[in-house]
Copies of this chain bind each other. A is one copy, B any other.
Amino acid sequence: MDIETSPLARPFPDMPPIAGVTLRIAKARYKNWDRCDLTYAELAEGTALAGVFTRNLCCSTEVEMGREQVKLGRARALVVNAGNSNAFTGYRGREAVEQIMAQVAAHLDCQPSDVLVSSTGVIGVPLPKDKARDGVAAALAAGPCSWEDAANTIGTTDTFAKGATASAMIGDTRVTLNGIIKGSGMIAPDMATMLGYIFTDAAVEPAFLQKCLSAANEQTYSCITVDSDTSTSDTVLAFATGKAGNAPMSGFDDPGADAFMAALHDVCRQLAHLVVRDGEGASKFIAISVTGAVDDASARRIGLAIANSPLVKTAIAGGDANWGRVVMAVGKAGEPADRDKLSIAFGGIWAARNGLPLPDYDETPVARHLAGQDVDITVDIGLGEGKATVWTCDLTHGYISINADYRS
């Protein structure tokens, strides 16, 4: 099945080097293909590590081990396998991951627990150990590659390479943050995973890096959805090499910490948006802003109920300002809401206020807004100060073609 590049694709940005990070790629041939599918990132000694992972209870070995490694807070290398998620593979899957960790640890003379592993692709097939061994050996022997090469190599059936970069001043020192991401595809059957990696030369204590990443995650990765299906392997890791030479940050009161947090948030939001822009069959990028909820968490849950509603998503695909479906989705979210206080706008134009359709509502400018690629929906709940923005894409024939008209 040929998959065309998403109409919402963005060009890969210019991404500067990050001191203390070297990228290499190789062909492990996890599937019957002739592309690079193993990515290796070597990290300077002392690199701080943070991570957030899927909440799926049937998660992969990689996720289970990653959670433990993040507690240790340090990393020397990352290996990403594309084409096989190694999920639901029991002890054989675990053996393959442990082999990769040991092989890289021997090469770097570090602890196996310093080597992070991610895998994405088909579920239920143990990662073949021989291919992994040869692939890792080839990567260790390869020359350095570009960020775009790495972004392409972690992808499975992504239709474009996804990267983002930002910088921040820590005192007099400029630090850089680069991120790459894949997914949230399911762009071919059995490919279900969002994997994101952020690299920075900033010096950051692991605990603070984790705090920053968790905070950014709450407002970025946790606020996107393509089809409501949560992967077994979703992972976002942050690596801070410390090579920029700033005074190490360990809390929000440290000089430059706010700027660092803002830059990290910026990279995470860019990466999260790119995932939505490559959502299966996506033809429109939809931002849903919820205000007036009882608190921010409630606003986010209402936003996600709207974003996950097949009826809202198909309405947007059809260019239909169907605010009745938005009402329905607010009501099914299970969060405090009062029908008679609800207001709904498309592209900044109110269709209904305080529970009633506006008598002078003119659909012409709304229809024009919905004809574009970027759609804004605003919902005011009218109860409190809680707010959130979530992002999704529309639901089109492309999604069905990708997921049903194809036999895995």
What is the interface of chain A, defined by CB distance below 8 A to chain B?
55-59, 87-90, 122-125, 186, 189-190, 192, 227-232, 308-311, 314-315, 317-320, 322-325, 327-340, 342, 352, 355-357, 394-397, 399-401, 403-408
A392 to chain B, nearest CB (A): 13
B324 with A87: CB separation less than 8 A:
yes
Interface contact A328-B232, CB-CB below 8 Å: yes
Distance in Å from the Cβ of A105 to the closest Cβ of chain B? Answer: 26
With known contacts A339-B88, A355-B88, A407-B320, A58–B228 Cβ distance under 8 A: no
Please give me the residue from chain B that is nearest to A342 by CB atom.
B58
- The answer to whether B318 and A406 have CB atoms under 8 Å apart is yes
Are B324 and A124 in touch, CB under 8 angstroms? Answer: yes
What number of copies of this chain does the assembly contain?
2
Known contacts A59-B331, A229-B310; is A357 also within 8 Å of B324 by CB?
Answer: no
Given A58-B331, A232-B331: A324 touches B88 (CB 8 Å cut-off): yes
How many angstroms between the C-alpha atoms of A128 and B335 in the bound complex? 31
Selected contact of A395 from candidates B58, B124, B400, CB within 8 Å: B400
A281 CB, nearest partner CB in chain B, Å: 9
Option from B232, B317, B337 in Cβ contact (under 8 Å) with A58: B337
| Central interface residue in A55, A320, A324, A395, by most chain B CB within 10 Å | A324
A404: B residues at CB distance < 8 A: 314-315, 317-318, 320, 394-397
A319 touches B407 (CB 8 A): yes
Partner of A124, one of B309, B327, B334: B327
Q: For residue A330, which residues in chain B have a CB less than 8 angstroms away from its CB? A: 57-58
> A356 contacts which chain B residues (CB < 8 A)?
88-90
Report whether A310 and B399 are in contact in the complex, using a CB–CB cutoff of 8 Å: yes
Q: With A90-B340, A189-B320 as known contacts, state yes or no: A311 contacts B403, CB within 8 Å.
A: yes
In the assembled complex, the Cα of A390 lies from the Cα of B275 at a distance in Å of 32
Question: With A324-B122, A324-B123 given, is the CB distance from A403 to B331 under 8 Å?
Answer: no
